Amino acid sequence: MKPAPFRFAAPACLSEALELTREYGDRCKVLAGGQSLGPLLNLRLSTPEVLIDLGRIAELADPPCAGHRRVSVGAMTTQYTVEVSPLVAQQIPLLAAAMPYVAHRTIRNRGTIGGSIAHADPSAEIPAVAVAAAAEFTVRSASSSRAIPAEQFFTGYFSTVLEPDEIVTSVSFPMRAERQGGSWAEFAPRRGDFGIVGVAAMLRLDGSASRIVDCRLVYSGIADRPWYAPEVTADCIGQAPEVELFAHVAEQAARACSPVDDAAGSADYRRNLVHHLSTKALLGAAASIGGEGKP
């Protein structure tokens, strides 16, 4: 099938795009790579009156760059650019670890980091990583600009706090702290398929690298948005980063979650994956700290 007829706009600058979103509001859709929206349009599950392609707006495509204790990335930066960025590898190990799991290489060549965030697919990697890494999104409309913590951004299936006239313009991540690591674990029937469950693990150790001072687990494929369960990792704080502890946390997580139940995976199966993947992600996060932080 082909999309229903729509008007196509390809503004050259952000202000022009924001004028369009102000004018059309929820009658328009923003095209930010099109790797998810394209199929939705073709299947006519989405039938906007106006399609606004952000692909020609250079100011939205800034590659990862280091600022004051944060790394910021333009929303229209391709997933592949993020995947191969040395700065991301060095400063946001969790994001670097997750990027190869985002669909297939050909899709990452076109798909954008901001597009994935605004699309808010609960089984996608980048939203879960953003929550775990305490990312912040800069969101603009013609009349306003605001910064939204990732944790407050996602509100449900393909739903966010974005107003119809707002566009995500950039994403920023805190730079890696001392003795902080991150890892991504995911199960998909085959690499590149939609993951059934994914886990972002962020771990920080104390000065002696013997105790955990911060630990976050955020899951894709469990709820209608990235599932962040601080109570699951509460027991970790002050403990040594050991396999037994991680297995205990994983058990807690499996108990605490109430996964969705659908054709891609039953609740029981997803719970099993939470158990299995949590340990794997935590071990990975600990290993990424390296040196004496290794359990």
CB neighbours of residue 191 within 10 Å: 11
Classify residue 200 by its DSSP letter: E
Cβ atoms 31, 51 nearer than 8 A: yes
In the bound state with other proteins, the residue whose beta carbon lies nearer, of 23 and 262, is 262
The closest alpha carbon to 168, from 134, 136, 139, 131, belongs to: 139
- For the bound state, the minimum distance from the C-beta of residue 266 to other proteins, rounded and expressed in Å, comes to 6
**Shortest separation between residue 35's beta carbon and other proteins, angstroms:** 11
Give the interface with other proteins as residue ranges (CB under 8 A): 1-2, 4-5, 39, 43-44, 187, 189-191, 193-194, 263, 265-266, 268-269, 272-273, 276
140 or 271, CB closer to other proteins? 271
C-beta closer to other proteins: residue 35 or 85:
35
**Other C-beta atoms within 10 Å of 284: how many?**
21
As measured in angstroms, the least distance from the Cβ of 114 to other proteins is 22
Q: How far apart are the first and last CA of the chain?
A: 53
Please say which residue, 96 or 199, places its beta carbon nearer to other proteins: 199
168 half-sphere exposure, CB direction, 13 A CA radius = 31
Nearer residue to other proteins within complex by CB, 174 or 269: 269
Q: Kindly state the DSSP code that residue 46 receives in the 8-state scheme.
A: -
Contact (CB, 8 A) for 230 and 219: no
User: Closest CB to other proteins among 205 and 222?
Assistant: 222
- Could you give the 3-state DSSP secondary structure of residue 66? strand
* Structure tokens that stand for 134 in this block: 């305490």
Q: How far is the CB of 27 from other proteins (least distance, A)?
A: 18
Amino acid symbol at 63 = P
Residue 263 C-beta: closest distance to other proteins, Å? 6
Q: Cβ of residue 276: shortest distance to other proteins, in angstroms?
A: 4
